[in-house]
Amino acid sequence: MNGKTIPLEGMRVLDLTTFWAGPLPTAIMADLGAEVIKIEAIQRLDPFRAYGAPPSADPDQAYEWSPLFNSTNRNKRGITLNLTSEEGRNLFKRLVAKSDAVVENYSPRVLRQFGLPYEVLREINPAIVLTSISGFGQTGPWRDYVSFAAIGEALSGISSLTGYTDEGVLLHGVGVSDPYTGLTAAFATLSAVHVARETGRGQHIDVAQLESSVPFIADAFMDFSLNRRKRVARTNDDPVRAPHGSFPTQGQDNWITISIGTEAEWQALVDVMGRQDWAARDDFATPLKRRRNRDALHGLIAQWTASHDKEELARQLQARGVAAAPVRSPSEQLTDPQLRATGFFQHVEHKYAGRHPYPSFPVRFDGAYPRINRVGPPLGEDNHYVFTKILGLDEAELARLKEARVIGDRPVR
């Protein structure tokens, strides 16, 4: 993305979010060129900083070594501000006056406890957009309930669809409810910023994890809505295709996915397997028979794949037009030939954690991914810039705020 095409250049966002679902939309806005100011407090860091620091991290500064925090807060400025203090709140208000949006994912009562509800922000800046992200929404009987990815998944019906056939439900290891929520919040925030630019009026947006997750199971939900069918978890089921699933290949926890729709694809698979005798079997003679007898068929295919290399097999099958692909683990992604060719991972240096690969925002604007200029801001890294350049404070005031622990760059323990 060259300078000419940075879509959100000139937009400023205050980021009061923690963990993943909240910081994700602001990371996207930062990737797209907005100036995002992540606000923590030395009294209370983003708890995501406590996850995933390697054993090699300096124990005194392990909070700077979280791969999760550093990834989810890329391209953001980082400041500290104690919002429980009068001075902290006043500085925050001065930033609100100079910003387009505030994004937060506290429990619904917290912003009000700080004396910073939407009505107060609007008085400071009528065009401000406040996006509040929560588990269940700002209203309703469950508004104060706490939620994380696993909870959003459970309530939204996602968990009920996740698992092997007739074996109950499993956790969705991606934690999908968090990105579903974050992406929903990103689109809603940009939409409200558009309204504010057109009309000069901001607004309060209420994004709930539960409500953001339900649309993603639209196929299962609409099946219920149209046919009263109660869909449940099934092992890699497809409404049409068979065989369709993941099959073991050579090595430890190596798998290939194969999916067959048309007769031509079936013939190609049989050819590559060298098992024309299976093609001749009556119980596999038609797509419907293969679907009906898919358990037996899957068992046979698994016996065959087990002695093959997943990469080689995928290439062979794809060369014959068969939908086949290896199941990738995280470490394998880093050397994936497609991702190497597109330059998907960007290697970025972090002051403490060193140089590591980070995934690009997966969209090319006029041919290029947005650049990741920096990752996870060290605690209070941009205090000086934000308070002097944006708010015009002088060095003496800065020193006094630090002394009063309104700001700082080391956690208070």
Please return the burial class of 27, using the count of CB atoms within 10 Å of its CB with bins 0-12, 13-18 and 19+. buried
User: What does the alpha-carbon distance between residue 56 and residue 252 come to, in Å, rounded to a whole number?
Assistant: 27
Residue (87 or 206) nearer to another protein, CB: 206
User: What does the alpha-carbon distance between residue 331 and residue 163 come to, in Å, rounded to a whole number?
Assistant: 24
User: What does the alpha-carbon distance between residue 69 and residue 177 come to, in Å, rounded to a whole number?
Assistant: 18
From residue 268, give the alpha-carbon distance in Å to each of 191, 250, 290, 293, 307: 48, 22, 15, 19, 19
CB 243 within 8 Å of CB 322: no
Cβ 288 to another protein shortest distance, Å:
14
Cβ 297 to another protein shortest distance, Å:
14
Cβ 307 to another protein shortest distance, Å:
17
CB 313 within 8 Å of CB 305: yes
The number of angstroms, rounded, from the C-alpha of 195 to the middle of its chain's C-alpha atoms is: 26
User: What does the alpha-carbon distance between residue 413 and residue 410 come to, in Å, rounded to a whole number?
Assistant: 9
Please return the burial class of 107, using the count of CB atoms within 10 Å of its CB with bins 0-12, 13-18 and 19+. middle
Provide the 8-state DSSP code for 387: I
CB 104 within 8 Å of CB 130: yes
Residue 88's H or E segment, with its range, is helix 86-96
Strand, helix or coil at 223? helix
Residue (32 or 45) nearer to another protein, CB: 32
Residue (16 or 121) nearer to another protein, CB: 121
User: What does the alpha-carbon distance between residue 63 and residue 410 come to, in Å, rounded to a whole number?
Assistant: 10
Catalytic residue set: 178
Two structure tokens written together for 105: 């994912």
Residue (98 or 201) nearer to another protein, CB: 201
Cβ 241 to another protein shortest distance, Å:
7
* Residue in this structure with the two tokens 């929520």, named with its chain if needed: 181
- 298 forms beta bridges with none
CB 178 within 8 Å of CB 156: no
Two structure tokens written together for 87: 């001075």
- 79 forms beta bridges with 39
Residue (193 or 401) nearer to another protein, CB: 193
CA dihedral 161, 167, 169, 173 (to 10 degrees): -90
From residue 40, give the alpha-carbon distance in Å to each of 23, 77, 84, 103, 108: 12, 11, 12, 13, 18
Cβ 158 to another protein shortest distance, Å:
6
